[in-house]
């Protein structure tokens, strides 16, 4: 499933802009324009990350942050025009995971969102995940199909690891490319299609009718176990 990101700011245009970029990254934005509304949504919905404005009408950002921290460790990125060091420190001391000052570029904010979620995922990553006959072992850095080790390149392993960790989430080619760029990889987004094709040949019973890695046309790829 894609991750739910709660976007809280009294500037409707900013909320819409951030939400648009989140959708392009494969996330599900949930919009709120004041602290009270945001806190009610937080309690009703399953929220994976909060992008929170400091200066909100009614229930302000710091108070919202304190309330949330009493009952949840959900990651929070503070979004504010404040630039003083003491304010940044206060936000982090309240339990925020990161701090972005206005004005900012949407690209910078998306990078912060992905970085915070990666840190959370690294803390929560199990030793392995199993989907039917397929097991991805993070501890041993290997993939097994019917208990037989599958020989993968490092780039292929990184792709299947990320997909299998978040079944149902759609990853676009740009996101997958960024994951493997640190592995001395260079190429266009379409090169991801080549890696997916090779992965399917190695793990799919029928690559033409995938059981694990599915194409979402116009969007990217997702991992979802299809019963045969």
- Residue ranges per domain, the chain? 4-123, 128-223
pLDDT confidence of residue 55:
86
Strand partners, 144: 135, 149
The closest alpha carbon to 220, from 184, 157, 179, 169, belongs to 169
List the beta strands (DSSP E) in the chain.
Answer: 4-8, 28-32, 49-53, 76-80, 98-101, 128-131, 134-137, 142-145, 148-150, 213-216, 220-223
Chosen CATH of 4-123 out of 3.40.50.2300, 3.50.50.60, 3.30.200.20, 3.40.1360.10: 3.40.50.2300
The CATH fold of domain 128-223 = Arc Repressor Mutant, subunit A (1.10.10)
pLDDT confidence of residue 184:
44
H/E stretch holding 136? strand 134-137
Give 89 or 51, the one with higher predicted confidence.
51
Q: Measure the CA–CA gap between 11 and 57, rounded to whole angstroms.
A: 11
pLDDT confidence of residue 196:
96
The answer to whether 171 touches 163, Cβ cutoff 8 Å, is yes
The answer to whether 74 touches 117, Cβ cutoff 8 Å, is no
DSSP state letter for 150: E
How many other β-carbons are positioned within 10 Å of the β-carbon of residue 111?
13
Cα–chain center distance at 112: 11
pLDDT confidence of residue 86:
62
Q: Measure the CA–CA gap between 45 and 8, rounded to whole angstroms.
A: 14
DSSP state letter for 10: S
8-22, 87-101, 157-171: which is most confident: 8-22
């Amino acid at each position: 499933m894609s991750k739910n990101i709660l976007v809280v700011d009294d500037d409707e245009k900013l909320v819409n802009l951030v939400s648009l970029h989140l959708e392009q990254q494969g996330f599900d934005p949930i919009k709120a324009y004041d602290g009270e509304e945001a806190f009610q949504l937080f309690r009703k919905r399953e929220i994976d990350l909060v992008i929170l404005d400091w200066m909100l009408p009614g229930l302000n950002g710091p108070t919202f942050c304190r309330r949330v921290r009493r009952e949840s460790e959900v990651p929070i990125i503070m979004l504010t025009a404040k630039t003083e060091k003491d304010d940044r420190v206060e936000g982090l001391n309240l339990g925020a995971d990161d701090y972005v000052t206005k004005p900012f570029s949407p690209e910078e904010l998306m990078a912060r969102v992905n970085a915070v979620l990666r840190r959370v995922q690294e803390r929560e990553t199990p030793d392995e995940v199993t989907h039917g006959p397929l097991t991805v072992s993070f501890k041993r850095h290997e993939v097994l199909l019917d208990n037989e080790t599958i020989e993968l390149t490092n780039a292929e392993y990184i792709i299947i690891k990320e997909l299998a960790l978040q079944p149902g989430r759609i990853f676009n080619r740009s996101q997958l490319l960024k994951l493997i760029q640190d592995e001395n990889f260079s190429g266009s987004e379409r090169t991801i299609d080549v890696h997916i094709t090779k992965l399917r040949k190695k793990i799919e019973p029928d690559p033409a009718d995938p059981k694990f890695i599915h194409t979402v046309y116009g969007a990217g790829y997702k991992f979802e176990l299809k019963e045969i």
